[in-house]
Chains A and B, each alone.
Chain A
Amino acid sequence: MKAQAGKYGLKRWVVAGLALAFLCCAWSLGLTPAGLVPPDSQHWDRTGEFFRAALNPALDYEDENVPADAEPIWWKGIKGVFLTLKFAFGAMSLAVPTALVLGFLGSSAWWPEPCGGKTRLILRAVYFISRLFMSLIRSIHELIWALLFLSAMGVSPLAGMIALALPFSGTLGKVFSELIDEEARDAAQALKAIGHGPVQIFLVGILPRAMPNLITYSFYRFECALRSSAVLGFVGIETIGLYIELSHEEFYYREVWTYLYLLIAMIVVVDLWGAGIRRRLHTSTGGCAI
């Protein structure tokens, strides 16, 4: 009884502390409900226009200067959606193999046994360096990587892809290494005991074991990559985000909504597809987390 009262007492303090922290932040940021209200009539108009446009997306260009024989806007939007898909897929194709290598180096299930002295020291160093490297690259957001890469290498799809792939390999690699270490010890030990080498253990004992979870998680990250690719349009990579940004700059809100709806449609389709894959893996392997 007493212990429980103590526990609830602690919880109360944590909640109170969090509330206090929120109030401090709000105060120091100058948050007031008035921040949501547009400051003047010009902004009021624009807000209204923006939300009205949601009901009335553009079926044709709002810009009169677009030549009449240009491709229709929905076609351009669909192309933008596919560019986004292509871009995200390209980035994931870089990120997944990189993450597999990093995840391998950042896990210990494949270490030889017995493993003493110098070998162990080297393996531990490799382990910590790859974990450190993974946390470094994922601690910087892809948008910042993109700004850095684009200013260094110019606006090229490859630079954008690398910028997206970097933090994604960091996150994927971390999850991979944890999956590997948590799930596959038994089989890895058994294969070690009958003479399999480290890389072999990884390939035939650990990878197949972790595969359903790896696929599920990679697909989830692919959905994230899609959203991020759209965002990278705002720094000049040719995805649907670029079209949104260009129309938005000219206050063509109805065009913005056309692109947004196409983007949402794609994400819904991909999410459904991902859910299907998860369900199938789930039922066919007798359960996998994530």
Chain B
Amino acid sequence: MSGLLFVSLMSSSFQIDQVTCRFGELRAVNNVSFEIRKGEQVALIGPSGSGKTTLIQLLNTMRVPDEGRLTVLQNEVSVLTPRELRRLRTTLATIPQHLGLVPNLTAIQNVILGQGGRRGALRSLRDLLFPSRADALEIHAILDRVGIEEKLYSRVNRLSGGQQQRVAIARAIFQHPEVLLADEPVSSVDPARARDTVKLLCELSAEHGFTLCVSLHDLALAREFFPRLIGMRRGHIVFDGAPEALSSEDQRALYELSNEEMMVDA
């Protein structure tokens, strides 16, 4: 019993404690604290410019906090050597907003790079030219799961936006991550597909047991699929809790222009 308790105490994916990240004078993420535990599914919501992308880049260790403490999978990020940082990143899958695929490689070549962080340069080069049978089978299964198995050998730049998104998701799954971070994965697809994509990400998180943290513009989608929402506004966290707890006041705090901002707009 106490062993289980210990494990559950240890099992946090992110501990972020009074973290600030600045661009010059601007505090894109301002004195933010929260914890995300293993296996949790969290939606990061907030208007554009509220700091969602910056926060995701902090969580995937591409940025280091200017102030505060950030612990990712029990590693304090600021003390890691570049090598340790890279090792840590192999367990964190990120789907950036613009997907970051290599456009003139095929789907399978892009997906296989998901394991590249663990495999190193030479092995990755070989994977691109001569993918192993085992990898090809696994990737085929993953593409089947995300619904584009017939695109295994298609060049990514010949695929539609939605299909490219699936390739990026497949790359993240092939990485076998402990955490998947996705930055506005549905900002460039139509509403029906957006819903499918968010649903797929949540299902995959449940199937594989990885922590999921997705930034979303669309509050309705976030409320429908995520048990926990973190709302940001101008670098601050203004809401953290279950969607049922999100009052209309909270929503106003999140999305409505304040008086001073209206003045600036006018």
Contacts and interface: CB of A to CB of B under 8 A. Distances in A.
Interface stretch (A42-50, A125-133, A200-208, A244-252): A200-208
B99 A190 contact: yes
A208 B128 contact: yes
Given A114-B64, A190-B94, A197 B86 contact: yes
A186 interface: yes
A209 B156 CA distance: 11
Contacts of B63: 113-114
Interface size class of A (residues with CB under 8 A): 20 to 34
A194 B92 contact: yes
A113 B93 CA distance: 16
A192 interface: yes
B104 interface: yes
B117 A196 contact: yes
Given A114-B62, A194-B93, A195-B118, A189 B100 contact: yes
B31 interface: no
Interface string A247-290: 00000000000000000000000000000000000000110000
Contacts of A204: 102, 113, 116, 121, 124-125, 128
Contact of A195 (B87, B98, B109): B87
B82 interface: yes
Interface string B77-96: 00000100011111011101
A208 B113 CA distance: 13
A197 B100 contact: no
Contact of A200 (B64, B100, B116, B155): B116
A112 B99 CA distance: 19
Contact of A190 (B82, B92, B101): B101
A236 interface: no
Interface in B197-232: none
A190 B105 contact: no
A191 B157 contact: no
A187 interface: yes
B159 to A, nearest CB: 11
A203 B102 contact: no
The residue in B60, B62, B90 that gathers the most chain A C-beta atoms within 10 A of its C-beta is: B62
Interface residues of B, number: 37
Given A114-B62, A186-B99, A187-B102, A197 B128 contact: no
Contacts of B3: none
B103 interface: yes
A148 interface: no
B120 interface: yes
Given A189-B100, A204-B125, A195 B60 contact: no
A190 B92 CA distance: 11
B104 A196 contact: no
Interface in B112-167: 113-114, 116-118, 120-121, 124-125, 128, 155, 157-158
B175 interface: yes
Contacts of B102: 187, 204-205, 208-209
Interface in A98-131: 112-114, 116, 119
Contact of A203 (B94, B103, B125): B125
11 contacts: A187-B101, A189-B96, A190-B96, A193-B62, A194-B94, A196-B116, A200-B116, A203-B121, A204-B113, A204-B125, A204-B128
